[in-house]
Amino acid sequence: MFETAEIGHKISKADYKKAVPALRADLLGAQAELYAQGKIPVVLLISGQDGAGKGETINLLYEWMDARFLSTLAFARPTTEERERPSMWRYWQALPPKGRIGMFAGSWYSDPIREHIDGDISRKELDARADQINRFEAMLVNEGALVLKFWFHLTREAQKKRLKALASDPRTAWRVTQWNWDRLETYDQLQATAGHLLRMTNTPWAPWVVIDGSNDNYRALTVGKVLRDALRAKLANTSHPTSPVAPMVRVDTDGRNVLSALDLGLSLTDKHYQNELAHWQGRLAELARDPRLQHRALVCAFEGADAAGKGGSIRRIAGALDARQYRIVPVAAPTDEERAQPYLWRFWRHLPRHGHITLFDRTWYGRVLVERIEGFCTDADWLRAYTEINDFEHEMAEAGLILVKFWLQISQEEQLRRFQERQRVEFKRSKITEEDWRNRDKWDAYQQAVCDMVERTSTGTAPWTLVEANDKRYARIKILRTLCERLETELARSPKHWADAERPGGQRPSEKKRGKKK
């Protein structure tokens, strides 16, 4: 959920100054139309970490827009009056009327997050709250509202830096209390809880917009643009409030995303590679024979552009395993039998039983990648697929299946080089088709779909690992190492925590890189 907000976004002062006047005019125009039309209440949730810019954003929107049609609702601990009503009562009282914008500083998300961190409610209870919230927000949208939820994110280091900066300046020191420092201590818990809750409530009708809070210009411009675009889209189409189709929200206003942030120059020398390969294959062979795996099962999912090296990586894993224990499932066009069933059926049928391993060469993510881009399914279909996939993977986790997902990223140039090589070398020629060349034309659309996929389906129990795959050796070792480390962690868990993993264990932008620059 927070992947895109951790790659370090930045917009320069000059770019910012250039962009603001037009944006303000747009926002004022949209706001005036909203008021004149008088049909749509706008519910903006301003939430996120301390010091990530919540207050600044509210002040900025007041500055940019017409304050007469704007209200801020701040919620602290409930008053006696509020405590004597159902917990949602105070939020109902604060809803903006049609034609106006209500900004919620603190919202119906605050209590469940705090209660789960404090241990007052279990994960299952948190999930039940998420479903309640989804129904509440669906009701708002069905009643005509635009619901937009901002979450401002900071990495642990960035948050610490922010708090220190605020504390050291006498003009802002009063804003930093012991409570803020205590919150920093529970940073990981907040990430895990909020990440899970945000994912559960990231619905097409009321999407979350996670924004990197570390750069003021980027944050301000992104909030403004997202709000403007959402207002325009809603004003243009008030007739179908319940339509399940919502545009994905773009926050890469500075052109950076989780894929472009990867360092594709990482590589290994052949000697280094051979050593590492022997080491990790040996480790994997041991783990596959670990008696604890007899009560679990392993599913590896491989996705990546054509010629990204999925097959080669899978073979390096299979090479360490006993043939009776694993199966490779290549995913191609569905059979007749599969076509007569719901989309996920053909993946369900291949789930391994205890002690076994399934390696998927391409996966159920086809729906949000190739089917989305090529128009093989409707927008509504691939939009609902994120939730369906999260449910599917959650059921795996609950049953003790260990799921490890890899996205192999190569550059467009590297793909071209490999395509040309395939055409040159006779025994490789069969691997390249007309379709592969056609897919290249849609490179940018595919990259965007991958970013959406990572943001929406990288969960605590099923994190995505993004693999820098321009160098095959580097990629294979990273995959083997990640797999071994994940297996070690998972096998150490007790059954009741199988489905309760805290923080994604996969790719972290801050992770120490072990390869060398080319």
Q: Is 376 in the site for a copy of itself (CB under 8 A)?
A: no
Nearest alpha carbon to residue 296 among 336, 356, 382 = 356
Min separation Cβ 223 and a copy of itself, Å: 25
- Rule CB under 8 A: choose which of 19, 20, 60, 140 binds a copy of itself: 140
Among 13, 135, 496, 512, binds a copy of itself (CB under 8 A): 135
Based on DSSP, count helices (H) and strands (E) in the chain, helices before strands: 21, 12
Q: Does 395 bind a copy of itself (CB under 8 A)?
A: yes
- 288 near a copy of itself (CB under 8 A): no
Q: Which is nearer to a copy of itself, 338 or 502 (CB)?
A: 338
Whichever of 62 and 92 has its CB closer to a copy of itself, that residue is: 92
- Residue 85 is a binding residue for a copy of itself (CB under 8 A): yes
Give which of 289, 318, 288 is closest to 302, Cα–Cα.
318
Q: Does 265 bind a copy of itself (CB under 8 A)?
A: no
In the bound complex, what is the minimum distance in angstroms from residue 402's beta carbon to a copy of itself?
Answer: 13
Q: How far apart are CA 207 and CA 218, in angstroms?
A: 20
CB of 379 to a copy of itself, least distance (A): 12
What strands, in cross-sheet order, belong to the sheet with 146-153?
70-74, 101-105, 42-48, 146-153, 208-212
Other C-beta atoms closer than 10 Å to the C-beta of 359 total 23
The DSSP secondary-structure symbol of 295 reads G
Contact 487, 287 (CB under 8 A): yes
Q: CA quadruple 197, 198, 204, 205: dihedral positive or negative? A: positive
Residues 31 to 60: which contact a copy of itself by CB under 8 A? 38, 41
- The Cα–Cα gap between 337 and 28 comes to 55
- Asked if 380 touches a copy of itself (CB under 8 A), the answer is yes
What is the C-alpha separation between 444 and 446, in angstroms, rounded?
A: 5
Q: Is 136 an interacting residue with respect to a copy of itself (CB under 8 A)?
A: yes
Q: Residue 322, interface with a copy of itself (CB under 8 A)?
A: no
What's the rounded Cα separation, in Å, for the pair 240 and 267? 51
Q: Give me the least distance between CB of 36 and a copy of itself, in Å please.
A: 14
Element (H, E) at 42: strand 42-48
When the beta carbons of 169 and 395 are compared against a copy of itself, the nearer one is 395
Note whether 28 binds a copy of itself by CB under 8 A.
no
Taking residues 327 to 356 in sequence order and writing x for each that binds a copy of itself by CB under 8 A, - otherwise, the string is: ----------x-xxxxxxx--xx-x-xx--
Binding-site member from 5, 223, 297, 451 for a copy of itself (CB under 8 A): 297
Q: Of 12, 37, 59, 142, which lies in the binding site for a copy of itself, with binding defined by CB under 8 A? A: 142
CB contact at 8 A, 23 and 61: no
Shortest distance (Å) from residue 496 CB to a copy of itself: 13
* 87 lines the binding site for a copy of itself (CB under 8 A): yes
| Nearest in space to 278 (alpha carbons), one of 480, 469, 468 | 480
Q: Which of 25, 66, 97, 237 binds a copy of itself (CB under 8 A)?
A: 97
Nearest to 503 by CA among 450, 452, 448, 460: 460
Backbone phi and psi for residue 378, each to the nearest 5 degrees, phi listed first = -80, 165
Closest CB to a copy of itself among residues 10, 114: 114
Among 55, 78, 99, 265, interactor with a copy of itself by CB under 8 A: 99
Cα angle for residues 10, 13, 15 (degrees, 5° grid): 80
Distance CA 488, CA 484 (A): 6
Q: Which of 152, 111, 109, 140 is nearest to 43 (CA)?
A: 140
- Among the candidate windows 120-128, 324-332, 437-445, 479-487, which touches a copy of itself by CB under 8 A? 120-128
Q: Could you count the other beta carbons within 10 Å of the beta carbon of residue 332?
A: 8
Residue of 45, 396, 479, 484 interacting with a copy of itself (CB under 8 A): 396
Q: Can you list the positions of beta strands (E) in 21-78?
A: 42-48, 70-74
When binding is defined by CB under 8 A, the residue of 63, 84, 270, 434 that contacts a copy of itself is 84
Interface positions with a copy of itself (CB under 8 A): 38, 41, 81, 84-89, 92-93, 95, 97-99, 122, 124-125, 127-128, 131-132, 135-136, 138-140, 142-143, 145, 242, 244, 297, 337, 339-345, 348-349, 351, 353-354, 380-381, 384, 387-388, 391, 395-396, 398-399, 401
